[in-house]
Structure 1
Amino acid sequence: MISKILLVASIYFLSKYISKFIKSNSLNKKIVPSMDYFFAFSPTSLFSVWALTALGFYIGNFSNNIVPQWELNFDIKIFLVFLSLALITLSLLFTNEKNISELSLNNQKIDKISKILLLISLFSLLFTNIYNFSLGIALFYLIRIYKRRAGFNSLLNQYLFKCLIGFLLFLSGFIIAVTDKNYFYFQVSNLVYSIEIVIISMLFYFSMILSYENQKRNSNFETSKRNINNISFLLLLVVLVTALKINEPLLAICSACSIPFYIFAFFRSLNKDFKRTFIYPLFIFNFFISTIYPYLGICLIFIFYISKYYYWHRFDKNYPTFLVKND
């Protein structure tokens, strides 16, 4: 009993010392510059990328009448899919131009790293199955088209492209689940029979896109912000009702927990309320999906805290954070 008390006390005081060191020691200022090129690729964007892929993987299992809970089995093919999609999106879609400009990073080096990440990702997908490899290629070209923005300047077209990118991420997770570790075997009927839950998954994702774009807009657009908020609310309501109807627990609980933020934003309509309609539902979804796939949760926690460490000591900025500043 005494040994356990001593162990708990040691952990407590050690954690306080480590926390103090990480927050205030001047050595951290010398460490973080070595992480500049890593953060040039915005790893915090993986909160969305992996959430969508994990949702697809979960729905794929759900279509096979499997409702996973606290899944601790490790599968190398699943790992390669998540890793590859992360590398493709980070290298092509989420390059942090602001960090690159502020820190005067070498653009040629950034391009070289991007190409290496792409090669690694596509090569890794070869070891999963032919369908995930094909989806990786499709994702690569779709993102390239989106980045060029040729003929896609309207807001609606940008939303549609983001939905297509999200759908490919979702589909990648879905297929790695339903192929059951086979390289060529895939029953299209799995997707057809799951069309209802696939649609509400995309509606959930689209509501998140609307909320993300809405909270970025200038404060002069309160009326349109409220309208977009209403659309997102209605989409989530459809997701909630449908998920309850088909007994799908994940989307039901995520939408039920997210809806109050949209209701509050409707009545008060301050900028900080609209920001909460993106930040908190994204956290809620990542939290619940992590209770199903704890390895994913470990990765997300690592990214969250290593990002806080980097931005705090590099830019004196508290990011990422759940704190929403007053207007």
Structure 2
Amino acid sequence: MTTRAAANAAPRRDQGSVDDFGMDTITLAGPLEAKLAAMREAGFTQVMLKANDIVGHPAGVDAAVRAVQASGLRVTGFQVLRDFEGLSGHLHDYKLDIAKAMLEMARAVGAPLLLACSSTSRHASDDPEAIARDLRKLAMLALPLGLKVAYEGLSWGRTINEFTTAWDVVCRADMPNLGLGFDSFHALATQTAPQALEQVDPAKIFLVQLADFMWQEVRSAEERIATARHFRVFPGEGVHSAEVAALVQRLAAMGYRGDYSFEVFNDDYQQLPLPLVAQRARRSALWLGEQVLRRSVPLPNRIRLKPAA
């Protein structure tokens, strides 16, 4: 197996273990290489990449790809395609071109999936069949590249704004490489009943992103957007620790064996040294692994979890 293939090889799922917790690059400030190094030094083994980190690299996309490969981190996924579904005419054609380019970048960095979030555009159709049709097309574009598409319902999405409605259109689209992207922030913000997760096939949950926030509820769409984009914190740091823990336990009990990544947008973290932020993420991973899922970390400086008994 090549070095690149080994770094990006899919983790073992046959023993029902959660292989790793990972970080999103959106949490950290600074150049891509420094972000990757901070994650690795904190003990993480996977990274969720954002497109800006790749196309914004001062030496170009190819240099960014080489930096990811050299880091030794397994790529969790690539984000994020926005406002893709439900459009028509020249708007649909435009977004189709954007989607193709993002899928190619995802393949280049060794990502197994592209994250797409539900549309907020007033120009988009609210017809679930039209939304499903476009998601089916996106999944078909991803197939020859060997990629999956994880579809996430933004809590301020125009039509799809809960994981329950996102799951509905994923089922309507009915593509083997199209699944659900579940984000704990959005589930908490919309106060969607956690029992609704039981309706979802765990094999079709392609990614779980975790975050908390510092107040009990968000009272408007504007506050929800501001909180999501500026004031998230790591699991265990906010006021919803019990709810986040319960969600992770429920997912594990359902049989989810995919990746967990910390998607934490936080303006304060952007002003702190990278190692300090990465260590906060490490504490969150240890809390979830050792106390919530009650699994041990067998090696120092590695967030790698043993299979459940």
What TM-score does the superposition give when structure 1 sets the normalisation length?
0.28
Q: Which has more radius of gyration? A: 1
Q: Which has the higher strand share?
A: 2
Q: Which has the higher helix share?
A: 1
